[in-house]
Amino acid sequence: MTMQNSVRPFPATEPAPLRIAVAGNPNSGKSTLINSLAGTRLHVGNWPGVTVEKREASFERRDERIALVDLPGTYSLSPYSQEEVVARDYLVEERPDVIIDVVDATNLERNLYLTVQLLELEIPVVVALNIHDEAERMGYRIDVTAMERALGIRIVPTVATKGTGLEALLDAATAAAGDPSRHRPRRLNYGGDIEAAAEALMAEVLRGHPDLAGKYPGRWLAFKLLEGDRRVIDEAGLQGIEPLVARAAEHLISAHGEDVESLMADARYARATGLTREVLTKPDVRKIELTEKIDRIALNRFLGIPLFLAAMWLVFKLTFDVSAPFADWLGTVTSGPFTRWTRVLVGLVHGPAWLISLVTDGVIAGVGSVLVFVPVIFAMMFFITFLEGSGYMARAAFVMDRAMHSMGLHGKSFIPMLLGFGCNVPAIYATRTLENPRDKALTALLIPLMSCGARLPVYILFVAAFFPSRSGTVLWSLYVLGIVLAVLMGILFKRTLFRGDSPMFIMELPPYRMPSGKSLAIHTWEKGKHFLIKAGTYILAVSVLVWFLLNLPWGVEQKKDSYMGTVGQAIAPVFKPLGFGTWEAASSLVAGVIAKEIVVGTMGEIYVPVKVETPAGPAPSLSEDLREIGTSFAEAGRNAFNNVFSTAGIKSLQAEVDEGTTGLRSVVSKTFTPLSAYAFMAFVLLYMPCIVAAAALKHEFGTWKWFGVAFAYQTVLAWSVAFFIYQGGTLLGL
């Protein structure tokens, strides 16, 4: 199979590709299936609601071009949530050539409810009976032939994570699309009076609007009108039809004592339940599944939250233990051999002294200070990806939901907030899974309080300098501080800006699964590469600009007299009560508005003009440097291994601080105290969202209003919390 990882539209001159929509319940494996088919890297996670928008991936197969459209997971096609609207609009308006309905074989009944509705759209449907291996392990036997007979469509057992059954699935999908006239699914009969009412209503509608005949599947349109679907009425231009619909529905309501929507939903559920009973055989003796056993503890009313906090602590401890030696190694390589080589290269082209300074004291000190934390970021993203893929993140949302609900907050909001631990920007976009615009805005306002990966370099720098033996605990405390303040601010906003009740939250809990190595590698890379891209773009750009601001007016002797120093000195008094009222700290915080990692990059440029360690003898040769880099890397690997199994804390960082090295960490340890360092980290956690998050807020809500609110409350909150920490700690004699 020839595949292209592409989202490009096909050129107009080429024949149109075969358009396959991939629909299904949340967490049934749609994105995984598309990734396996098209070789793309759509974000997947073992929790519902990962896909918010429809996304497209294209590839070639047997000289045929295929465009797969990944629709958001939905339980039905009723327009109650943004996902349902996106999925339904695409299917009804774009009319793909075929639908692949991804059905979770371990949850047949619930998934078939959507299948029944998809069959009404008069588009060929092929069912991918996914997660088939897990169903078999649970002792489920599904009679695929009987299911095909009952539904009148092709059913193909698949295991998307292993690529099993995908060729047969594509064969079935292309065959169904190739001859739609052969697509004759067994329709659900809603009963004589509903069917008759729908037929009569449709005849009436078509008399007045004959153009609708080719635009919408007639039977589906009639049912939607009978259900009183406002969105369909508006989109089909049928305003004013309400009296006609009311007359048609009136008889049904009086005959059955229920509204039409409920009647039809009952009929669909009955069909899904009946079909499941027909084709599914479960083992006689119900085994207590591993998932259930774990959940008895993980979701326990009293143990749930402590376990979640313990899991987070373990993540931070492991992140620090594994990555710190590699961060040290990268720091040594950057400040040593790499800077030496750069100086030689710039010297070879006879670069002026200022250019050498710009490259070493600006770019290398700025970007390098941030890049040394790449191993930390990747380690953290690895563990977060593991928790997502294992299914634990969904439990975390469930556990926190209970706590948040008891304080009047919407529990579903915690899902995008959890995404915010990686990066706040996609988390803000993920708020579109929330139905209520008020909850959406509230959640987006709270997301910047979730500590994203960009703040990690700041924490690691200060934690390594001041709290090396309690690194995991201090890091954990900052993340917990963010969550606690988000809950408190949520309560405050709910009582002021966002009054009103929240709808009930129903959370689907997927089974625990061991994420595959490939999936872990791909998604860790996808999350971590964002950091590398930032380092190569705006962190690089800001490092250059900061160097100029630190050296202008030209020839300035002291950095504090530079433009940046002057601005920093003007702002510094604001931070004095917080324990870090220096112009260096103030300037770094201002630059960090662009991206939080830049706080460290700017400190690198201000505090540490790169001094290349010149050995007493002749400079080491390239091969000696490379040998030293290789040896120290192996040493870092050994240290990381020892750290994980050591109970004595982090050897490498402790050793380096004790030795009093000349790096940024050493300067920071002399200019801050442990108390002011913690206040500084809390300030970085809480102060205004970065520019990209601000743009995301504007993009998602179409107004700068919510960014303004976020800017104002976060600035006040950050200052107040840092003040409380520093002044409170000072009073306590810390």
Partner 1 sequence: MGFVDIALMVLIVGGALYLLYRSLWKKKGYCHGCDPSGKCR
Q: Interface residues with partner 1 (CB under 8 A)?
A: 5-8, 40-41, 43, 53, 55, 352, 354-355, 358, 419, 422-423, 425-427, 429-430, 526-527, 529-530, 533-534, 537-538, 540-542, 544-545, 548, 554, 594, 691-692, 695-696, 699
The two structure tokens encoding residue 554: 């030209």
Structure-token match 């976009």, residue found: 429
Q: Which is nearer to partner 1, 173 or 428 (CB)?
A: 428
The two structure tokens encoding residue 347: 């010297």
Q: Which of 169, 105, 189, 116 is nearest to 143 (CA)?
A: 105
| Least spacing, CB of residue 436 vs partner 1, in Å | 21
* 64-70/18-24 β-pairing: parallel
Q: How far is Cα 593 from Cα 493, in angstroms, rounded to an integer? A: 24
| Least spacing, CB of residue 498 vs partner 1, in Å | 24
| Least spacing, CB of residue 381 vs partner 1, in Å | 9
The two structure tokens encoding residue 650: 């982090």
Q: Which is nearer to partner 1, 356 or 480 (CB)?
A: 356
| Least spacing, CB of residue 6 vs partner 1, in Å | 8
Q: Which is nearer to partner 1, 336 or 515 (CB)?
A: 515
Show the DSSP H helices in 280-391 as ranges. Answer: 290-298, 304-333, 339-348, 353-357, 365-371, 374-390
| Least spacing, CB of residue 688 vs partner 1, in Å | 15
Q: How far is Cα 652 from Cα 656, in angstroms, rounded to an integer? A: 6
Please, what's the b/e burial string for 41-74 (b: 16 or more CB within 10 A of its CB; e: otherwise)?
A: ebbbbbbbbbbbebbbbbbebeeebbbbbbbbbb
Contact between residue 46 and residue 32 where contact means Cβ atoms under 8 Å apart: no
| Least spacing, CB of residue 53 vs partner 1, in Å | 6
Q: Which is nearer to partner 1, 272 or 598 (CB)?
A: 598
Contact between residue 683 and residue 578 where contact means Cβ atoms under 8 Å apart: yes
| Least spacing, CB of residue 51 vs partner 1, in Å | 11
Q: Which is nearer to partner 1, 206 or 695 (CB)?
A: 695
Q: How far is Cα 333 from Cα 329, in angstroms, rounded to an integer? A: 6
Q: Which is nearer to partner 1, 370 or 481 (CB)?
A: 370
| Least spacing, CB of residue 94 vs partner 1, in Å | 17
Q: How much is the CA Rg of the chain, to the nearest whole Å?
A: 30
Q: Which of 485, 463, 687, 480 is nearest to 575 (CA)?
A: 687
Q: Which is nearer to partner 1, 345 or 716 (CB)?
A: 345
| Least spacing, CB of residue 7 vs partner 1, in Å | 5
Show the DSSP H helices in 51-183 as ranges. Answer: 82-89, 108-118, 132-137, 144-151, 166-178
Q: Which is nearer to partner 1, 6 or 730 (CB)?
A: 6
Cα 462–381–633 angle (5° rounding)?
70
| Least spacing, CB of residue 32 vs partner 1, in Å | 16
| Three-state secondary structure call for residue 537 | helix
Q: How far is Cα 418 from Cα 135, in angstroms, rounded to an integer? A: 29
* 64-70/125-130 β-pairing: unpaired
Q: Which is nearer to partner 1, 265 or 692 (CB)?
A: 692
Q: Which of 439, 418, 428, 445 is nearest to 714 (CA)?
A: 445
Q: Which is nearer to partner 1, 400 or 430 (CB)?
A: 430
| Least spacing, CB of residue 475 vs partner 1, in Å | 21
Q: How far is Cα 79 from Cα 117, in angstroms, rounded to an integer? A: 13
Q: How far is Cα 579 from Cα 462, in angstroms, rounded to an integer? A: 14
| Least spacing, CB of residue 97 vs partner 1, in Å | 22
Q: Which is nearer to partner 1, 670 or 699 (CB)?
A: 699
Cα 483–485–488 angle (5° rounding)?
115
Q: Which is nearer to partner 1, 381 or 446 (CB)?
A: 381
Q: Say which amino acid occupies 112.
A: L
Question: 98 — phi, psi (to 5°)?
Answer: -155, 150
| Least spacing, CB of residue 341 vs partner 1, in Å | 21
Q: How far is Cα 433 from Cα 452, in angstroms, rounded to an integer? A: 20
Structure-token match 């906003």, residue found: 493
- Return the sign of the alpha-carbon dihedral for residues 215, 219, 224, 230: positive
| Three-state secondary structure call for residue 492 | helix
Element of type H or E holding 471: helix 471-495
| Least spacing, CB of residue 96 vs partner 1, in Å | 19
Q: Which is nearer to partner 1, 524 or 652 (CB)?
A: 524
Q: How far is Cα 233 from Cα 229, in angstroms, rounded to an integer? A: 6
Q: Which is nearer to partner 1, 305 or 522 (CB)?
A: 522
Q: Which of 8, 15, 50 is nearest to 33 (CA)?
A: 50
